[in-house]
Amino acid sequence: MRTLSKLFFFFLFLGLPFTKAQQWHLSTFGKSQYVPLEDFCRFYHFPELPYSPATEVHLSNGSVTLDFKPNSSVVFIDGVKHWLSFPIIARGAEIWISRTDLSCLFDPILRPERIPQNRLYRGVVIDPGHGGSDKGATSRRGTEKNYALDTARRLAAILKARGIPVVMTRNEDVFVPLDQRVRMAAYYPDYIFISIHYNQAYGGGHGLETYALSPRGSPSTNSGRLYLTDYIASPGNQTDPLNILLAHDIHSQIIRLHPADPDMDRGLKRARFKVLRENVLPSVLVEGGFLSNAIESSLVDHAIYRQKLAEAIARGVLLFFDQIHSQGKKGRPNTLASDGSGP
């Protein structure tokens, strides 16, 4: 382990602008850089409570709650399950959070008003997965391509009723190549991108997932390891903070469809799907349930469920727009140091 003590970062620590010098203690474990939980709590105004590296940690600053176990890759932010790029680790009596997760997960969600923006996002590109000869996942009741298109149409109607412009990558049962979907999205630089899918898993599978692009230099959630290609920056990484905020806002709403079953929250995950990786818009991919699961496939087959899913996604979109359109006006002031030492 290599430790750099009392490092001072001006303007460029984790890609975040600082108004004053902020003291961080940065250490390297393996190939990843980490900051201590003590610094994290001080910066985001979480009271430092006694904790044991062997037990779950609960933090609250009056605006947001965090729950996690040391040496785990899962954190709950306001009850929403997130998969970390790198595990929170315990070393002796100290707990450490990866620099990647600090900059590409925690900070955008805790301080959305500080996310840099070069445009005002106002519309949504809706991408129903699969289509035409590509059926996607299947059940004895129906196909993913049809369920995704129906859900997308419902989402489009809800957003249009709220005055939000919408573009569909397909509005009928046709096959649209992934690169064509990405090129289409690029024509709408002030839109966000939502890809709608339904899941399938051999041997089981249960619940809802939302995906955002993996940050550069971090593994995808389901890969289990880092590959050399993971170190290559993708066009989608230009909007990493917006990607994760959008994913968080949408996922926080869709999991409310199943309040009595916490296992339905499979979490907000990271992946390098082409529609995320090559997309210059803030982008997410939503998996609305498993067609390979008998109970969930029955739910998905009912129009009322697809309508509720579309409404939940729409609530997430509206929440996202409210947050990013309120820069400097709203946000979560309690997560910032009142003495001006925050970024």
Residue 258: inside a domain, yes or no? yes
- Please tell me whether residues 103 and 191 are part of one structural domain: no
Q: Summarize pLDDT for 74-87 with one digit per residue, the tens.
A: 999 999 999 999 99
Q: Quick one: pLDDT band at residue 54, thresholds 50, 70, 90?
A: low
Query: Which residues form the domain of 68?
Result: 2-110
What CATH number did the domain enclosing 187 receive?
3.40.630.40
**CA-to-CA dists, residue 185 to 123, 171, 286, angstroms:** 11, 15, 17
Same domain as 214, residue 164: yes
Q: Assess if residue 334 is contained within a domain.
A: no
Closest C-alpha to 299, from 286, 287, 290: 290
Is residue 117 domain-resident?
A: no
**Torsion sign, CA atoms 208, 129, 83, 109:** negative
Same domain, 249 and 286: yes
Question: Cα–Cα distance between 71 and 239 in angstroms, integer?
Answer: 28
**Six-digit token pair at 116?**
């840099």
The answer to whether residue 340 sits within a structural domain is no
Poorest-confidence range of 18-27, 301-310, 330-339?
330-339
**∠ CA(218), CA(222), CA(226), 5° rounding?**
35
Q: Is 73 within 8 Å of 111 (Cβ atoms)? A: no
DSSP 76: E
Distance separating alpha carbons of residues 68 and 222, to the nearest angstrom? 19
Tokens of 197: 């899918």
Per-residue pLDDT tens over the stretch 162-206:
999 999 999 999 999 999 999 999 999 999 999 999 999 987 799
Question: Is the same domain home to 205 and 240?
Answer: yes
Mean pLDDT in residue range 96-106: 97
pLDDT of residue 203: 75
**148 and 7 share one domain:** no
For the chain, give the mean pLDDT: 89
135 and 43 belong to one structural domain: no
Q: What domain count does the chain have?
A: 2
Where does the pLDDT of residue 230 fall: very low under 50, low under 70, confident under 90, or very high at 90 and above?
very high
